[in-house]
Amino acid sequence: MFDRRQLIAAGAIAGLAAKAEAQAAQPVKLSTPCVVSTWDFGVAANGAAWKVLAKGGAALDAVEAGARVPEADLSNHSVGRAGYPDRDGHVSLDASIMDQRGDCGAVAGLEHIAHPISVARRVMEKTPHVLLVGDGALQFAVEQGFKREELLTPQSRKAWKAWLKEHRYDPVANSEVKTYGRDLGLPGGKTNHDTLGMLALDARSDLSGACTTSGMAWKLRGRVGDSPIIGAGLYVDNEVGAATSTGVGEEVIRNVGSFLVVELMRQGRSPRDACREAVQRILRRNVTRDPDFQVGFLAISKKGEVGAWAVQKGFSYACCDSASQVRIVQSESFS
C-alpha cells in the first residue's frame, strides 16, 4: 500500500524493456513535429496523429485524429464506445480539446455519440461556449450531424452485470493497462477506467491538446472527472507548453493540475520537474479515501522537451517523432 506521508524521491522505474528503463532516467527531447500521449495504447493514437503532422498538418487536426482511435477501439474499456458504464448501465463520455490560440471546447456526460472529441471541437468552433453537458451536448451533437447509437457493447454489459452481483466500487490504479483487451465480466472484477491525453507540436511550433475518456467504471450517474475540465485534465499555452493528466480526476480538479504544470513550466521548471511538483502538491493535500490512488501528469514544452510524473509506478506514455513512432516511456513516480 502506498504511504502518501512519505514522499520518496524516485529514480527511473523499470519499464517494459531495458531501453524504456534507460529512457525514463533521462530527459526526453523530441524533434518537431511530435506528439505524445498517455498509456501504451497511445502508440496507435500517436500513429493517426503522426499521419497529419508528417504532412505538415496542424497540431489541432492531429490530436483530434489521434483521440478518435481509442474512442473507436473495442478493446479499450477506458475510452470511447467500449467504455464501461456507470452503476446504472449508462455509457457516458467526456472530452476536451484546446488549440494554440487558447480556444477550447468540451463535452461531459455525453451519451450515444461514439466520438466525443469531435463534438468537443464543434463546441469550440461552432458555439460561444466551452462546455456542453448531458442532454444538451447530445442535442448539439445530433444537430451537427453526429450519429446517435448504442454504446454499451455486449462485453461491457457482461462486465456491468457481473459487477452488479457484488455491487462493490473498487477502483484500481493503472487499470488503463490492466483492463485493455481483457474480459473483466467476472464477479468482483475490479476496474477503474480513465483517459487518453494527447499533446502535439506541429511543424509551425504550434501546440494543441486533446483528452477523452469514458470515466470511472461504475461511477455515480452524472459523475464528471477532470478530462473535460480545461485547466484540470488539459491545458495548452502556446508560449510555454502543454499538459494533460490521468488517474483519479477528483484529485486533479481540486488542484487544477494541468494548468499548474504549465504555470510551473512558465516559471522555468522542466516538464518533468513541473509534473513532479504537481503530483507532490496533490499528495500534500490529498483527500481521497482510496490509499492506492493514482494520478499522473504528462507535459511537453514549446521546444519538444517531454516529462511526466505519477503518484505510483505503472504510468506509461507514448512518444512519436520522425525518429520513432512507437516509443514507450515509463514515468517516474513517488513509489
Please enumerate in sequence order all residues whose Cβ is within 8 A of that of 202, keeping only pairs 6 or more positions apart, or say none. 32, 33, 53, 56, 57, 58, 59, 62, 208
C-alpha span between 236 and 243 (Å, rounded): 7
HSE of 6, CA atoms in CB hemisphere, 13 A: 5
Is the distance from CB of 24 to CB of 18 less than 8 angstroms? Answer: no
Q: Which residues pair with 104 in a beta bridge?
A: 98
Q: Cell numbers at residue 246, please?
A: 490521468
HSE of 74, CA atoms in CB hemisphere, 13 A: 6
38 an active-site residue? no
Q: Among all chains, which residue has been given the C-alpha cell 474499456?
A: 77
Choice among 38, 191, 195, 213 that is catalytic: 195
- Tell me which amino acid residue 238 is: N
C-alpha span between 293 and 280 (Å, rounded): 13
User: Mind telling me the catalytic residues?
Assistant: 195
